[in-house]
Amino acid sequence: MSSSSSTNVTVCASNDTLCTIKEYQVEVIIVPALLLFGTLVTLVPLFILRYCCDRNRTRVRTAQHYHSSSRRQTERHHQQQHRTKHQHHRSHLQGIDAPPGINPLEHEELPMSVTQVRQNVRPTMAVAPQRSTERHHEAFSQVAALPQTFSIHPNDTVNFYRARTDNKNVVLRVLKETATSSEKQKFLGFASFVSGLGPHPFIPALLGVMSAQSPLVMVVEELQQRDLLGFLWRCRQDNSGLQPSCDMTEKRIFTMAAQVASALDYLHSQNCIHGNVGARSILVGGDMTAKLWGFGPAHRRRTQGSSTGEDTVTKKWQAPEVLAMRPITKSSDVWSFGILIYEMVTLGDPPFAQVPSSELLQHLQRGSHLKRPDTCSNSLYSIIRSCCHFKAKSRLSTSELIRMLKAGESSANGRTALRVTEPFIFEKYLSEAGFAEAYNYAVL
């Protein structure tokens, strides 16, 4: 057995190379050849796939670059058309620009000459604005300083003028030449804030801002009757009823209150709490449309980050939680809205007239509330009470408030004008409202 095995192992002689190759050709030639062929079969498809993908990516990048270039060229073309149209529009307006969306920092110049009026004079409610007799630059004509009455928060850096442009009346809110850079930034910041609120039928329209050089100017639509508080006082003085525009009926209160509530609901949808609702912050147009203004506190909260009550002057319009220095909320605005209706039905009386501002929170904590005025209907008084619940969660929402006001409007008395026999005394109002001796009033 061992002899046979030895013979099988040593088939070829040690010096017979040809025999060795023939004997081991499978191991030496065929297996390596198969391995090499398999490697080629694997690598060639991979190479083809990589090459094709690279070419496709190149084509995609080229196409994207082409489309991107085409899109940029199209955008540049549209922008050029918009600038041409915009420049034509600006040339037509000559000093004011109000494109769709309102650019609050539109750079324009204000060539303006103003009629001088007496300064530091104790104002009266019935003073009419003095008009300039000469025609100024076509941008603004009939520019005249607005008469001053009194101001809760006097702003010594801003002057107010009324003017005409494009056949409509406007109010110019002009920053004084002596303003510091910080005051200029605040002025433009407020303009940007108002513009950012967006257009609404019951918020005064910001028509443009001129900021290229001094003076900086905000141009706002003019509402002929100016602030609601002064309008209510004029209605009280006009007991003869000779001026129909001053007649405040129950129906008119429902209508105007619904307009203000609509503006307030819109602000809340924009996550903006007004915080300054009151007759002093409502502007009234010649057609008796009411528009919500007085955004100063809202702007300060937005820029300074404070959400607690900071206005100690207007305490009698503030909700109990605000008086307690807790964060102001949308429900706080609803409380102030109830006070607004009280002002309207009393033709401008201050709320809680007999309660000192320093004692108002304790007065409310004892369960006291606004008494129903003689001129207030049951339906209006129920809305006042629904707005002025001590607990914020129990107050109406703005959407519920709008529904109640519109429902009440349909059946309200639109014929009988409200009359208050007690004469209006300016000093008494300041004392009862908690304003003390604060003059130069202007809501714009």
Give the pLDDT of residue 340.
98
Flag whether 438 is in a domain.
Answer: no
Q: Is residue 307 part of a domain?
A: yes
Q: pTM for this one?
A: 0.69
131/23 same-domain check:
no
The answer to whether residue 436 scores a pLDDT higher than 90 is no
pLDDT at 64: 53
Q: Which residue has the higher pLDDT, 157 or 253?
A: 253
Return the pLDDT at 45: 76
Q: Is pLDDT larger for residue 221 or for residue 21?
A: 221
Does residue 84 form part of some domain? no
Residues 190 and 287 in one domain: no
pLDDT at 302: 87
Report strand pairing: 217-221 vs 226-227. Answer: unpaired
pLDDT for 121-153, tens place per residue? 333 333 333 333 222 334 777 777 777 655 666
Tell whether 114 and 241 lie within a shared domain: no
Q: Are residues 324 and 427 in the same domain?
A: yes
- pLDDT of 303-328, one tens digit each? 887 655 556 678 999 999 999 999 99
Structure confidence at residue 443 (pLDDT): 52
Q: Is residue 83 part of a domain?
A: no
Are residue 243 and residue 180 in the same domain, yes or no? no
> CATH code at 358?
1.10.510.10
Confidence tier at 3 by pLDDT (50, 70, 90): very low
Average pLDDT of the residues in 387-409: 96
Q: Residues 205, 249: one domain?
A: no
Domain that holds residue 428: 226-433
| pLDDT over 70 percentage in the chain | 66
Domain identity same for 105 and 162: yes
Do 218 and 231 belong to one domain? no
Domain CATH code at residue 185:
3.30.200.20
* Number of domain units in the chain: 3
In a domain, 183, yes or no: yes
Co-location of 371 and 308 in the same domain: yes
With bands split at pLDDT 50, 70 and 90, how would you rate the model's confidence at 70?
low
